[in-house]
């Protein structure tokens, strides 16, 4: 394969990262599959559940802190400590006796798991040349879909044959195991003993020289003043409610509106995440197609985001169709479209900012994304009992078109070069 002509260590690194992302999203999705059971045993209302998901999103909103820590203490130790934390916190869910305790644990878990995107993007920016970054980002972002896809059958099995507590203990233990695996195997490109000089040179020469890491610590205030940051952050704010709805509310929607039981959820709730996996790869593929027609990298990413936003309009009809299987098909289209545009805009952090800033920028943009998810999740929890789910699907189906317009209007590649020159 062409990817391995200059060595394959970097692809081993991305495989290790992808496994971690799978487990990160498996643990965060465990609660949503267990929610119908927990709502009965803990006497939770939709509003209570909305508060729990909102607290989790608030924890993830602290991504700038997590990203800054990763930029300062580096990836090896930072990812280990955060993964160890979210693994243990997930296991602690089994001790919860009421929804208030669950809310506290979810907030802590959200903060610890918020390293998934900043850490992943930092790994990609350090280990891959520019032409491979989109594909590498798509690979590790598949982990989000695979983890969410594995949750329904695995958690349903644990609940049906053991208990809801066992689901949290098992998924959390996977996270702890991965943290140890990461600590034992990860090294930077400069330090990795298995990396041959040809591959090290291939990586280095394929990266933009003006985005090379500097010794200066990243400044959040300076990043906030850059137009390109808002060009990434606002579209992510508008896009992320789709993913949080799929992860946190899909099982409840299928139970309450479509009449599914736990076995049917195990059979069908994972399908949108398979479609999302394909979207993770389709986005980078489409960027490559646009580039073959002479379109610049940044514009190719913008065109790809726009295509994803247009496909998202199919979600508008989820609440209108009578067949539950047609609704699932439309949700699969939405998941595919969302990941097509999401992985594209997430990768742009590494296209527009220095390597030493990437985790901080990704964390700050992640805060914007999760603020959108928090507000939307709380709105669902508060209003769904009176309005139903249909108005929320209509909003999700159209809002990414606004995000696409803002991506075209706000992002200026020339600003990136000018900013670097001012710092030099």
pLDDT digits 0-9 by tens, 262-294: 888 888 888 998 899 899 889 989 999 999 999
User: Has residue 421 got a pLDDT over 50?
Assistant: no
pLDDT of amino acid 209: 58
Q: Which of 83-87, 138-142, 418-422 ranks highest by mean pLDDT? A: 83-87
pLDDT of amino acid 2: 39
CATH 1.10.3720.10, applies to 8-189+227-423: no
Q: What is the mean pLDDT of residues 376-402?
A: 88
pLDDT band at 1 (very low <50, low <70, confident <90, very high): very low
Q: What is the mean pLDDT of residues 308-326?
A: 95
pLDDT band at 218 (very low <50, low <70, confident <90, very high): low
Distance CA 77, CA 249 (A): 34
Cα–Cα–Cα angle for 308, 310, 315, rounded to 5 degrees: 90
| % of the chain at pLDDT higher than 90 | 44
CA dihedral angle for residue 166, residue 170, residue 175, residue 181, rounded to 10 degrees: 160
Which of 51-60, 215-224, 311-320, 351-360 is predicted least confidently? 215-224
pLDDT of amino acid 66: 82
pLDDT digits 0-9 by tens, 145-167: 888 889 889 999 999 999 999 99
Lookup: tokens for 283: 């986005």
pLDDT of amino acid 270: 86
Residues, the chain: 424
Check if the beta carbon of residue 195 is closer than 8 Å to that of residue 73: no
pLDDT of amino acid 423: 46
Is pTM, for the whole model, over 0.85? no
Q: Is 94 exposed, middle or buried (0-12, 13-18, 19+ CB in 10 A)?
A: middle
Which of 45-49, 87-91, 313-317 is predicted least confidently? 45-49
Q: What is the mean pLDDT of residues 59-70?
A: 82
Distance CA 69, CA 112 (A): 12
Check if the beta carbon of residue 114 is closer than 8 Å to that of residue 62: yes
Rounded to a whole number, what is the distance in angstroms from the first to the last CA of the chain? 39
Angstrom CA distances, 190 to 56, 199, 203, 244, stand at 36, 11, 11, 37
Distance CA 344, CA 346 (A): 6
Distance CA 60, CA 260 (A): 30
pLDDT digits 0-9 by tens, 66-116: 878 887 888 899 999 999 999 999 999 999 989 999 999 999 999 999 888
Q: What are the start-end ranges of the H helices in 128-249?
A: 130-161, 164-185, 197-205, 220-224, 227-244
Q: What is the mean pLDDT of residues 351-368?
A: 80
Q: What is the mean pLDDT of residues 124-138?
A: 83
Please state, rounded to an integer, the average pLDDT across all residues of the chain. 86
pLDDT of amino acid 16: 93
């Amino acid at each position: 394969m062409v990817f391995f002509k200059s060595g394959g260590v970097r692809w081993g690194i991305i495989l290790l990262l992808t496994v971690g992302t799978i487990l990160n999203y498996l643990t965060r999705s465990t609660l949503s599959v267990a929610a119908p059971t927990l709502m009965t045993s803990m006497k939770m209302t939709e509003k209570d559940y909305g508060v729990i998901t909102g607290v989790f999103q608030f924890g993830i909103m602290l991504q700038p802190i997590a990203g800054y820590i990763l930029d300062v203490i580096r990836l090896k130790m930072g990812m280990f400590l955060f993964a160890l934390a979210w693994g243990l916190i997930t296991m602690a869910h089994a001790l919860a006796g009421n929804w208030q305790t669950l809310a506290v644990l979810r907030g802590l878990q959200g903060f610890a798991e918020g390293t998934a995107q900043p850490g992943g993007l930092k790994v990609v920016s350090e280990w891959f040349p520019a032409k491979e970054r989109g594909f590498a980002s798509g690979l590790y972002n598949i982990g989000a879909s695979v983890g969410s896809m594995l949750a329904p059958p695995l958690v349903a099995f644990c609940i049906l044959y053991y208990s809801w507590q066992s689901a949290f203990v098992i998924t959390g233990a996977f996270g702890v195991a991965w943290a140890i695996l990461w600590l034992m195997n990860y090294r930077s490109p400069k330090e990795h003993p298995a990396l041959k000089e040809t591959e090290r040179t291939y990586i280095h020469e394929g990266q933009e020289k003006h985005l090379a890491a500097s010794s200066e610590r990243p400044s959040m205030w300076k990043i906030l003043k850059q137009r390109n940051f808002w060009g990434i952050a606002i579209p992510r704010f508008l896009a992320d409610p789709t993913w949080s709805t799929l992860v946190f509310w899909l099982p409840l929607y299928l139970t309450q509106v479509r009449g599914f039981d736990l076995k049917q959820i195990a059979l069908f709730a994972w399908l949108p995440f398979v479609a999302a996996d394909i979207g993770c790869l389709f986005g980078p593929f489409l960027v490559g197609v646009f580039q073959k027609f002479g379109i610049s990298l940044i514009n190719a990413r913008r065109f790809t985001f726009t295509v994803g936003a247009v496909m998202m309009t199919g979600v508008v009809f989820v609440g209108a169709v009578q067949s539950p299987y047609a609704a699932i098909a439309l949700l699969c289209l939405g998941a595919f479209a969302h990941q097509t545009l999401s992985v594209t805009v997430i990768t742009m952090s590494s296209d527009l900012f220095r390597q030493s800033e990437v985790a901080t920028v990704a964390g700050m943009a992640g805060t914007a994304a999760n603020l959108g998810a928090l507000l939307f999740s709380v709105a669902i929890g508060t209003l769904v009992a009176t309005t139903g789910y249909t108005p929320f699907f209509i909003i999700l189906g159209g809002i990414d078109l606004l995000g696409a317009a803002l991506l075209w209007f706000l992002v200026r590649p020339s600003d990136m070069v000018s900013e670097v020159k001012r710092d030099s």
